[in-house]
Chains A and B, each alone.
Chain A
């Protein structure tokens, strides 16, 4: 939280309620700005932090996620006109992954919607959306308020995350299914701490997200860290998260697509169909913003699509161009996100690929530049279009989750 004594212009980046804890554990002082907050990029080493997500438990401070409260008699109608999915099916206690588009059917942002009661929702977004939400609210009886600073959020992810949360006393967690949320309590310093817990995350693994009062944040963090023990809890930064989210096949704004609210060049915006998120678009639910454009796009067929690539070798293909042949004469697209996956032991990437080459099994060529002590080398390596997600362990869905 910002210190009220300092005017905002003296501290251009806000500090989350977990900041002091994170600073104490940061060994290499790698902080980055995220949505107006200073956050940890790497605590110690991205690889080590990565393994805590896949083999143990990780804590990730996601307070900077922008959060909105939406309520009012037309809240559901408002959301269903705003978003491409049919949220009539989203009952209290459920969470949905969503995208929303501009009139041209191009993605403005993705996020999650939590149904917290009849006609009452929380929306989590990557970027601030008040302007678009306000425009979308014209003609609807709905109140929208940003609650980003009122809610501290911590992701607890990894195979031992369930055991860890049980160990700190969250009773009833075994019943929580993926994409569900509920109120849970754990012992606090004096009184029990109650918070919303959702079985959601950005890792594609077993995991939870904890949504609490900022005042409780320190105690929750300390308690979780104390109960790590053999469960191996460790705080992680954005770099490790980026590795696991690529394995899980999730897209990130400004990496895999640029919000249509920000693009300046014609043709650089992306539709849900192009991002491979066509399953989020429900043409049967009635009108929503972008529907007519998306319907036309569906009829026409997309110009390009985001696909998963399995690339030869071990060098991540950051920012590479793709070609149809080794000769590199005809371009077929470009890589948007890339990582070596230590768990899959594969060289993975997400890539925006022109329509003719999007079919699973298509073979493309990737141009990788290697910097060997300032001597640049160019490699043309083979890449295959493969299914996403690259990594989807059964434990992420098991209810109740396994104990460790």
Chain B
């Protein structure tokens, strides 16, 4: 690692994930001296590009960019910092074994065999989701209100929340309140006929979570995903993978004046007179700062870096009980050549391919995870990024990046033996839509939640650092006592996916946290 230029900064940020970098940029823009310390040898956290087989590069964690609000992308001026898109506005394609795939795009839905009723229902669905997510989106843009305080700002944001929901109009407001606590399976059952359509929408609801479509909370998770973009979800693929986005964020932070060091794991958050006073690096070096912002997940931050002795016991218990076990795995395939996907046109193939033929398929896949087994027939979200971005693979070869559910953190039989078996299952599951796939695979890699924990230093390996659930959401995220990016320890802040609004490559947690840090000092 390189050595920090100074012994003292206005703010030290632990972790150079995308949220840490966004937070650093805004703090540096506000004139603070900012140091970012990232344990890995590149910035980006779970949004990185790396080699997984000789000559093959992949976005090792997140593989699609769809949640970062355009306003934030513009404000950070990432284009000027080298961000280019290999593909923009990619379609989502619900695969069907008979080749009658259903293609959906930001502009609208199209494709196979939707009944007239479904077509109408889908149009209405999109309208409703646009309305609701438009109303909820502003909530993600700032610190959530705190309950039980006398602070005017908290009351104001609560009132604004009520007002926004009221403004949806009687019909949509009722619908929001009706469906908010439902499971997505019932909701889709109410509205649609096509199993394919229900499967695709259910996948969106459970992706990255420990939910099946029938789990309560799955609608919340879906609304969360939609709210992030205000209902206009546009899928894109940065040139060079998600790591290129992180690299651009790093350059933006540096340009704003922040200093970034990689391969610089922080070992401990320092405390003096009951305030965060800096950090101690694994190298032994100490850096002082009156503000420490942690991009690491809450368990790592509080139990690993700070330590229970600086916290109250009730708070520590809440942190310990935070649900942080991941159920999502990642499979990377290096292909000598691309097999045929019958029924898929080249444009669709470049998109986001879903293997979730119906909602019950997902529920069945989920059953296994409850008992620490992998899904016998898993749900997949597949991209072939090398189609739009040939730089990721040797000429003529291809990279397949697959998000797979469900893969438990702890596997009954152990991942040592389960690893190859599950990888084969994933390949064969996708192979049902691309005959001959197995023969094209030159190399493969499986990241289980335990691998994700190790590689990205995310406790439990959870997509969102902590489950998106009513009791870990919005005003109480990650836990009461650590909301609004603040912690019980003065001077210590959080800025990662474990905070409001949550995970996904979105950047809002980082930006909101920077604002909160500046509010505190003001």
Contact = CB atoms under 8 A, between A and B. Distances in A.
Given A138-B317, A138-B320, A290 B312 contact: yes
A287 interface: yes
A47 interface: no
Contacts of A82: 313
Nearest to A77: B309
A136 interface: yes
Interface in B293-339: 303, 307-317, 320
Interface residues of B, number: 16
A292 interface: yes
A132 B274 contact: no
Given A103-B481, A292-B274, A139 B312 contact: no
A68 to B, nearest CB: 15
Nearest to B303: A139
A103 B308 contact: no
Contacts of A103: 312-315, 481
Contacts of A290: 312
Contacts, number: 46
Contacts of A138: 303, 308, 313, 316-317, 320
Contact of B308 (A139, A291, A292): A139
Interface string B244-288: 000000000000000000000000000000100000000000000
A139 B307 CA distance: 7
A191 interface: no
B311 A135 contact: no
Given A292-B274, A292-B488, A139 B309 contact: yes
A81 interface: yes
A84 interface: no
A287 B274 contact: yes
A287 B310 CA distance: 6
A291 B307 CA distance: 16
Given A103-B481, A138-B320, A139-B303, A289 B309 contact: no
Contacts of A77: 309
A132 B313 CA distance: 8
Contacts of B310: 287
B174 to A, nearest CB: 32
Contacts of A139: 303, 307-309, 316
A202 interface: no
A135 B317 contact: yes
Contacts of A292: 274, 312, 488
B315 A287 contact: no
A82 B312 CA distance: 9
Given A103-B481, A287-B274, A135 B488 contact: no
Nearest to A140: B308
A132 B308 CA distance: 14
A91 B308 CA distance: 25
Most chain A CB within 10 A, of B307, B316, B481, is at B316
A290 B488 CA distance: 11
Contacts of A136: 313
A132 B314 CA distance: 8
A276 B216 CA distance: 48
A109 interface: no
Nearest to B309: A81
Given A139-B303, A287-B274, A292-B488, A81 B314 contact: no
Residue of A82, A140, A292 with most partner-chain B CB within 10 A: A292
Interface string A289-333: 111100000000000000000000000000000000000000000
Interface string B3-19: 00000000000000000
B73 to A, nearest CB: 39
Nearest to B481: A103
A102 interface: yes
Contacts of A81: 308-309, 313
A260 to B, nearest CB: 10
B305 to A, nearest CB: 12
Contacts of A287: 274, 309-311
The residue in B309, B312, B320 that gathers the most chain A C-beta atoms within 10 A of its C-beta is B312
A3 B311 CA distance: 43
Most buried by B among A103, A136, A140, A292: A103
Contacts of A291: 274, 312
A118 to B, nearest CB: 19
A29 to B, nearest CB: 43
Nearest to B317: A135
B317 to A, nearest CB: 4
A290 B308 CA distance: 13
Interface in A353-383: none
Contact of A135 (B274, B303, B307, B314): B314
Contact of B314 (A102, A140, A286): A102
Contacts of A286: 309
Nearest to A105: B312
A333 B309 CA distance: 37
Interface in A77-115: 77, 81-82, 102-103
B303 A289 contact: no
A82 B311 CA distance: 11
Interface of A: 77, 81-82, 102-103, 132, 135-136, 138-140, 286-287, 289-292
Please list the 9 inter-chain residue pairs (A to B) with the smallest Cβ-Cβ separation, ordered nearest first.
A139-B308, A103-B312, A136-B313, A103-B314, A135-B317, A289-B312, A289-B313, A135-B313, A138-B316
Given A103-B314, A139-B307, A287-B309, 19 more contacts: A77-B309, A81-B308, A81-B309, A102-B312, A102-B314, A103-B312, A132-B313, A135-B313, A135-B316, A136-B313, A138-B316, A138-B320, A139-B309, A140-B309, A287-B310, A289-B314, A291-B274, A291-B312, A292-B488
15 contacts: A81-B309, A81-B313, A103-B312, A103-B313, A132-B313, A135-B314, A135-B317, A136-B313, A139-B309, A140-B308, A140-B309, A287-B311, A291-B274, A291-B312, A292-B488
